[in-house]
Amino acid sequence: MGLVDLQGVSKRYESQKLLCEVEFYLEEGERIALIGKNGSGKSTLLRIVAGLELPDAGKVIKRQGVEIGLLPQIPKFEPGKSVEKIIQEQLQELEEVFQNYLRLTAQLEKEPENQTLTRELERLTSYLDFHNGWNIRERVNRILKELKLDQLREREITSLSGGEQRRVALAGLLLRKPNLLLLDEPTNHLDVYMTHFLEELLLREKYTFMVISHDRYFIDRIATRVVELENCKLRSFKGGYLDYLRQKEKLLTVKTKQFENHLRLLKREQEWLSRGVRGRLKRNEGRKKRLEELKKVLKEERRELKSIELQLKREFYQLPTEKINRKRILFEIKNLSKRIGEKWLIRNFSSLIVQRDKIGIVGPNGSGKTTFLKLLVGEELPTDGIIKIGENVRIGYLDQQKSILDDSKDLIETFCPNGGDRVTVRGRNLHVYGYLREFLFPPEHLTKKIGVLSGGEKMRVALALLFTKEFDLLILDEPTNDLDIPTINILEEYLIEFEGGLIVVSHDRYFLDKVAKKLLIFTGNGKIEESYLPYSQYLELEEEIRELRQFVAESRNRKRNYRPLNRPKKLSYRETQELARLPEQLEQLEIEIEKIENCLSNPNCYQKEGLVELSKQLEQKQQNYDHLLERYMYLSDKEEEYLKAKEGDDW
């Protein structure tokens, strides 16, 4: 059996069905990405697998002894403990196993024939191999460094931000390495470099896991299977995210044919029902019942087809041409600098931002991206330089706190503050419910207060509200945080069609590749670079350059360390003369060897010269040739090593 097997599992909260008799299995070594709309039950499914919630019906079967670790969206810690202490507690069992291994190893040296000790050592060795427990200190330092927690070791856990606490919880789970990792949005609050490290670690150390994520490049790289939760049912797709989309396209084709077949059958049945009196006298009540059932099936199939078509359209949506003049200036930035304490976030940055610019702001956490947005909207003042805003430019700004929302108002009051129930969006006059349905809100949410909504729901409301207003420039800070993939697709479609400018901070590579035409890269120490590459290509190029620089540095170190020990020597005068003569000598021997071989193949020749004598000559000349060739290779290599070493001195 697999690690986990769900059989006929159902779960509901009040009137909402989350899981309906689902069948699910997870094998050792699998890497499963769980996707679906927010509120569809993904986190609940993880909690059921982890054993933290019970299903209403069905069975959850786990392999005996399987260890499961869950990363929730909001981890909870005991107050008063430092980061270092929390990490140590996660590794306590691993440390005990390692110490036990050392003790038994010493004992086995005294009792080499003890089979019980041997078997126990084999078990402990297997455990340490699986959990990478041989160099645990090195792994702790590496993971804390890459997740930018090494400077926070002594900090009390509740003094950290929510994102930092999540990284502590993630680090602990990665170090502990349970048999099955359950990760709920692990890339939230990770910058792109941390995400890349997480990808590498999960793949290199062969974790088995199930992950909820909206980061489509992350899913595409790490997943062996994508499982979609929709309408309380699970559907599996082999491979990563792009494989999932290709299989969805094939599914659309199959579903379309199935729908057309059912539609033809419905028409035939309706024709039968509409016959004259003679036909109705023999009407079959069972046939009428099947007709009504067929209508229900068609209604459900039509809904499913529309859903898949819309999803694929949004996923691959790109604006074919630009519609307006790009020359209107939105921002003119000259020699902008910003310092906080002794740290420079921006130094001497100049740029021109014009209408229709779609700019992605990227870089490590803490490099100054959000501060840059606040400088643009006037929430902070620069240390030096000028920010000149264009004439009559209307700016829509969405910060991470979603300040444009009022928690005390419900959705109707938020979208229709002056009464009524209609909104205007891009020239269309819509009923507020019809509009909010595009952002995946059901009717019962209209009277809910903003304050009771989840983080993802608040972000959807904020974005929907932003798009009801007329702006020349949108400035968005991490808009995809807490959003599911269907909502991100909606956001991408709106931003691609938006005819104004866009400045967006995001770590979502897939999102930026679709909406951003230009990048501002915050590289640290106040430096900002510009690039017109798609973000994923820029990161690949950056990685290649980093590896090349590392290779060059290592090569220089090897040469510096190598020269004092065994410095290649220049050929002597006699060796130089010998090397110059050897090619001619080798060529002459080749001619002589070929002549003897030709003679040995000709009876008239070898009978005259003598077969035995010719064989001796051939053997002698072949030995001379081999000796001279070996000498030639030695002198050539010696000269090449000397020239390389000399070239290295000039670097």
The DSSP result for 285-332, as a single string, is HHHHHHHHHHHHHHHHHHHHHHHHHHHHHHHT----S--S----EEEE
Model confidence at 316: pLDDT above 80:
no
Model confidence at 475: pLDDT above 70:
yes
Higher pLDDT, 64 or 598: 64
Instruction: Yes or no: say if 182 and 210 are a contact pair by the CB < 8 Å rule.
Output: yes
565-577 pLDDT, tens digit each: 455 677 776 778 8
Instruction: Yes or no: say if 153 and 140 are a contact pair by the CB < 8 Å rule.
Output: no
Which residue carries 């967006």 as its tokens?
504
Model confidence at 186: pLDDT above 50:
yes
The tokens describing 641, both together, are 């090593």
User: So where are the chain's domains?
Assistant: 4-99+136-245, 262-315, 329-542, 573-649
Which residue carries 């044919």 as its tokens?
257
Higher pLDDT, 273 or 487: 487
Model confidence at 642: pLDDT above 80:
no
Please give the CATH superfamily to which domain 329-542 belongs: P-loop containing nucleotide triphosphate hydrolases (3.40.50.300)
Instruction: Yes or no: say if 24 and 44 are a contact pair by the CB < 8 Å rule.
Output: no
99-148 pLDDT, tens digit each: 888 888 888 878 878 888 888 888 888 888 888 888 888 889 999 999 99
Band (366; pLDDT cuts 50, 70, 90): confident
Band (313; pLDDT cuts 50, 70, 90): low
pLDDT for residue 648: 58
pLDDT for residue 646: 66
What is the helix (H) or strand (E) element at residue 561, kind and residue range? helix 535-562
Band (52; pLDDT cuts 50, 70, 90): very high
502-517 pLDDT, tens digit each: 999 999 999 999 999 9
Quick one: which of 427, 493, 471 has its CA closest to 330?
A: 471
pLDDT for residue 286: 61
The tokens describing 266, both together, are 């419905």
Instruction: Give CA–CA dist 183/207, Å, rounded.
Output: 12
243-269 pLDDT, tens digit each: 888 888 888 777 777 777 767 776 776
Question: How many residues can be counted in the chain?
Answer: 651
Band (649; pLDDT cuts 50, 70, 90): low
Instruction: Give CA–CA dist 4/154, Å, rounded.
Output: 38
Nearby residues of 590 by Cβ (< 8 Å), 6 or more positions away: 625
pTM of the model: 0.69
Nearby residues of 87 by Cβ (< 8 Å), 6 or more positions away: 140, 144, 168, 171, 172, 175
277-302 pLDDT, tens digit each: 444 444 555 666 666 676 777 677 67
Q: Would you tell me which CATH number, out of the four given (3.40.50.1380, 3.40.30.10, 3.40.50.300, 2.40.50.140), belongs to the domain 4-99+136-245?
A: 3.40.50.300
Which residue carries 């940055």 as its tokens?
349
Longest CA–CA span in the chain (Å) reads 121
* Strand segments (E) across 517-585: 518-524, 527-531
Which residue carries 């903003």 as its tokens?
450
pLDDT for residue 456: 82
Band (22; pLDDT cuts 50, 70, 90): very high
Q: In CATH terms, are 4-99+136-245 and 329-542 the same topology?
A: yes
pLDDT for residue 551: 74
pLDDT for residue 564: 46
Instruction: Give CA–CA dist 448/433, Å, rounded.
Output: 13
